[in-house]
């Protein structure tokens, strides 16, 4: 088992493998702990519980969630990512190098930088029949599954009363024949604007003081959901609604328990990142994907966030120990346009001169008037003031 790594990635979903692929190609030699049934989900994250993924670029016929994650894992390994199928149990982010303890390990793995990609899981209600019809009628993501053929032109049900429930109900109204929203209380928790839109949608009906108790449907391993048993919380009366789909909109739980006290989090347990970046409150610790995204929660956004994150890692000297000095250049004599070098801007620099070795002179300073600085001299001064990192490839 490795004892030290420059970059430790904790997670196994699209965000983690995207980070691993880009980090490996940047010669950061990442070590990825994918976990063994971490948070009750197999390695690969929430996508492993999805049967068909039809809205991911590059798969016109769709692809199953488990197969997509198997391919992602293989791609990470192809570029040199070391993957360990153990679960990180606790971490210490108070000092560098950071420490992480796998389950049943006495000694920690140390790292110069850590990427947190542990994701989040949708809250379930634990209804009778829920497990049997999960992804065969029961889902926790309307955007992911709402356009699937089994839901088109069929009656659908959404559980929840907040903005998320309202958004999902209106999204599903585009595909289903009707949408029923079950609200436990006597009023919606959604904002006034969202509530007004929801109630005004002719394909949506809101039922207050109502809770779901059981999912019913066809027998067999591939049987589909056909109805939902609903109870009135005031009278106790029950009835079975005809429904081909049940969508939960009761929130998500980020897998951030072991990071509490180590990085800043909001009241819901999501890691707080600097706006527009993946930087956490601890220098050298980064987070992206569902672990800090409570809005989109899509594979595509997780992949994009970690592409930007790894690019920033490559460009920020503070994230890692300095590379060998013969790989570091910051002078006008360096051929920064050589195919064997890649020039990046550090976090302290605002712009990169288009050409460091050749600075054009304006007409006024072409001959260099006495006592005045030439354009070329100013160009060299700008280069010397900036910080460049040239990564050897």
Q: Point out the residues that are catalytic.
A: 141, 144-145
Class of residue 54 by CB neighbours under 10 A (exposed 0-12, middle 13-18, buried 19+): middle
Q: Where are the alpha helices (DSSP H) in 148-263?
A: 163-172, 192-200
Q: Is the dihedral of CA 350, 356, 362, 366 positive or negative?
A: positive
Number of H helices, E strands in the chain: 7, 19
Four-point Cα dihedral 322, 323, 329, 330, nearest 10: -10
Q: Identify the CA nearest to 332 among candidates 317, 343, 322, 319.
A: 343
CB 353 within 8 A of CB 375: no
Contact predicate 203/176, CB 8 Å = yes
Size of the chain, expressed as the number of residues it contains = 393
On whether the CB atoms of residues 302 and 290 are closer than 8 A, the answer is yes
Token pair recorded at residue 201: 């949608």
Are 27 and 391 contacting, i.e. CB atoms less than 8 angstroms apart? Answer: yes
């Amino acid at each position: 088992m490795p004892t030290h790594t420059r970059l430790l990635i904790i997670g196994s979903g699209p965000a983690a493998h995207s980070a691993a692929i880009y980090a490996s190609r940047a010669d950061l030699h990442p070590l990825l702990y994918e976990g063994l049934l971490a948070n009750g989900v197999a390695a690969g994250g929430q996508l492993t519980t999805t049967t068909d993924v039809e809205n991911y670029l590059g798969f016109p016929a769709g692809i199953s969630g488990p197969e997509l994650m198997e391919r992602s894992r293989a791609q990470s390994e192809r570029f040199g990512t070391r993957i360990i199928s153990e679960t990180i149990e606790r971490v210490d982010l108070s000092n560098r190098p950071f420490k992480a303890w796998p389950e049943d390990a006495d000694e920690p793995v140390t790292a110069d930088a850590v990427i947190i990609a542990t994701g989040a899981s949708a809250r379930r209600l634990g209804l009778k029949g829920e497990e049997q019809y999960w992804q065969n009628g029961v889902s926790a993501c309307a955007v992911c599954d709402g356009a699937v053929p089994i839901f088109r032109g069929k009656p659908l049900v959404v559980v929840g009363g907040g903005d998320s429930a309202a958004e999902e109900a209106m999204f599903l109204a585009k595909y289903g024949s009707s949408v029923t929203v079950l609200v436990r209380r006597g009023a919606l928790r959604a904002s006034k604007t969202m509530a007004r839109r929801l109630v005004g949608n002719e394909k949506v009906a809101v039922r207050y003081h109502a809770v779901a108790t059981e999912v019913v449907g066809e027998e067999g391993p591939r049987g589909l959901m056909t109805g939902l048993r609903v109870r009135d919380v005031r009278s106790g009366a029950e009835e079975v609604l005809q429904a081909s789909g049940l969508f939960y909109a009761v929130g998500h739980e980020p897998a951030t328990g072991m990071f509490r006290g180590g990085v800043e989090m909001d009241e819901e347990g999501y890691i707080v990142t600097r706006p527009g970046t993946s930087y956490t409150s601890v220098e050298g610790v980064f987070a992206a994907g569902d672990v800090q995204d409570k809005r989109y929660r899509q594979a595509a956004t997780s992949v994009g966030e970690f592409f930007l994150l790894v690019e920033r890692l490559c460009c920020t000297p503070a994230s890692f120990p300095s590379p060998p000095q013969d790989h570091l250049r910051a002078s006008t004599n360096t051929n920064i346009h050589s195919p064997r070098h890649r020039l990046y801007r550090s976090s302290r620099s605002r712009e990169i001169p288009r050409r460091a070795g050749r600075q054009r002179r304006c007409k006024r300073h072409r001959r260099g008037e006495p006592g005045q600085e030439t354009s070329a001299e100013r160009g060299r001064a700008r280069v010397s003031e900036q910080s460049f990192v040239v990564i050897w490839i």
